[in-house]
Structure 1
Amino acid sequence: MSDLLLRLPALAFAITIHEFAHAYTASLRGDDTARHLGRVSLNPLVHLDPIGTICLVLGTFGWGKPVPVNPRNFRNPRWDDVLVSFAGPLSNLLSAACLGLLLRLVLAQYEQVPEFFLEGLIPFLVIAIKMNLVLAFFNLLPLFPLDGSHVLRGFLPARQRNTFDRFSERGPIILLGILLLDGFFHLGVLSAIIGPPIGLLFHLLVQA
């Protein structure tokens, strides 16, 4: 079965879960901006970003359409922003764990499952686990506008937050530079950063 045919639904699932978690958590914490825009939904079409989807299908990174959030609506703007930001990566980690459990259950009953079913299911589960792990750890990078920058900012004292905010202005340029260097010169900067935790967790979920 074509790898692309497996990557597309796996990608749609990972991004949908990620962005839904942001939107739903924001709604729980008092900000209904995403809800009013129809983003508290498990419909992939409202969450997929065209460029981010293409990048994740063709490469090892990608993103969904950012969920609009108004921190002024939060009950506790500082910590609610941390919760909403972390909800996306956490949802992908939990999804990877559930998919890993399902994969191990399927493998345990390998002889009882029809072969034609396994030919598509096992590769799909493996790809879906990897996609969720990539999306989680990529978004945890502490570079604005990724989720990790919001999480880190929430834990910084006020003076350090101001310094971090000034640094964050360069975040998109730094991130774009890393992606371009990896894309054109194959330096493997991104893989060197997020590859080890992804590989370790994948091993624990699938082979432990």
Structure 2
Amino acid sequence: MENDFYLPYLLDYSNLTAESTVIFVIAIMAAIIVNAEGQAFLATFLGDSRTDVKDRFHFNVFLHMSIPGMLCFLVAGFGWVKEIEINSNKFKNYPRLSLVISRLAGPLANILLANIAASLSWILGNFGFVDKVFSSMVAVNITMAVYGLLPVPPLPGSSLLFAFFPDNHTFDRLKHWLCKIGPFLLIGGFGLIRLSGWEGVSSLVNPIVVSLMKFTLDF
């Protein structure tokens, strides 16, 4: 991994192989499931319970997929899940804080899965197997977790931004429009970064990703 910009979480389209593509897709699917179910679990735990749990806990990756989020995975190496419906009015204590915690449970779940995958990769390595799947899963999950903290909707980190919005019509409309244009800003912005070679915000975020990967998985 000589160039930090071309970490495993970014597909190299100039040298694309079926193996790397399949591994990347598997890692994405695992990252999406744990991110979505992590949000759903903590929201339920904090009080936003539902009569039909299958609305959330179905573990069907295709129902959790967001088309713009999947496109961002292909463009930038990270993405997001289809929004998990959370009713903050059901939280008994500190509804805004509980909403933020529930959203950030997604990235936390990705970090936990990355650690599990790193352990499996280590075990396989000790038995002489060359692992690509679990190490890529580490990279994709850590990347999704770290980039997911950016305060841009629909990323989970945007909940931190919205927590400071007062409850009035003006800010409700602002939030609405930010949620509408957020996916296009992310896909367009990181697409431009990818094409131009300019790292942009990645120059600040990638070192964090690299440090966490080195801490989690010795590569």
Give the structure-2-normalised TM-score.
0.76
Residue 207 (structure 2) aligns with: 196
Q: 2:113 aligns with which of 90, 95, 98?
A: 95
Q: 1:64/1:23 Cα in 2 relative to 1: closer, same or farther (>3 Å)?
A: same
Letter matched to residue 85 of structure 1 = R
- Residues in 2 aligned to 1:38 and 1:177: alpha-carbon distance in whole angstroms: 29
- Residues in 1 aligned to 2:62 and 2:72: alpha-carbon distance in whole angstroms: 17
Residue 183 (structure 1) aligns with: 191
Q: 1:130 aligns with which of 136, 139, 150?
A: 139
Q: 1:175/1:64 Cα in 2 relative to 1: closer, same or farther (>3 Å)?
A: closer
Q: 1:162 aligns with which of 166, 172, 176?
A: 166
- Shifted more, 37-46 versus 126-135: the winner is 37-46
Which structure has greater helix proportion? 1
SS at the partner of 2:157? helix
Deviations 1:120-149 (A, max 9, x none): xx1111211111011101211122332112
Q: 2:150 aligns with which of 141, 144, 157?
A: 141
Q: Is 1:75–2:86 an aligned residue pair?
A: no
Q: How many residues align?
A: 193
- Residues in 2 aligned to 1:146 and 1:124: alpha-carbon distance in whole angstroms: 25
- Residues in 2 aligned to 1:123 and 1:26: alpha-carbon distance in whole angstroms: 33
Letter matched to residue 56 of structure 2 = R
Kindly indicate whether the alpha-carbon contact (under 8 Å) linking 2:72 and 2:186 is maintained by their aligned counterparts in 1: no
- Residues in 2 aligned to 1:42 and 1:81: alpha-carbon distance in whole angstroms: 21
Give the structure-1-normalised TM-score.
0.79
Residue 84 (structure 1) aligns with: 102
Q: CA RMSD in A?
A: 2.7
Kindly indicate whether the alpha-carbon contact (under 8 Å) linking 1:81 and 1:151 is maintained by their aligned counterparts in 2: no
Q: 1:176/1:50 Cα in 2 relative to 1: closer, same or farther (>3 Å)?
A: closer
Deviations 1:173-202 (A, max 9, x none): 466435423313533224223211111110
Residue 60 (structure 1) aligns with: 77
Higher relative contact order (CA 8 A, sep 6+): 2
CA drift at 1:91 = 0.3
Structure 1 gaps, min length 5: 155-159
- Residues in 2 aligned to 1:74 and 1:51: alpha-carbon distance in whole angstroms: 29
CA drift at 1:82 = 2.1
The percentage of counterpart residues that share the same residue type is: 23
- Residues in 1 aligned to 2:157 and 2:125: alpha-carbon distance in whole angstroms: 34
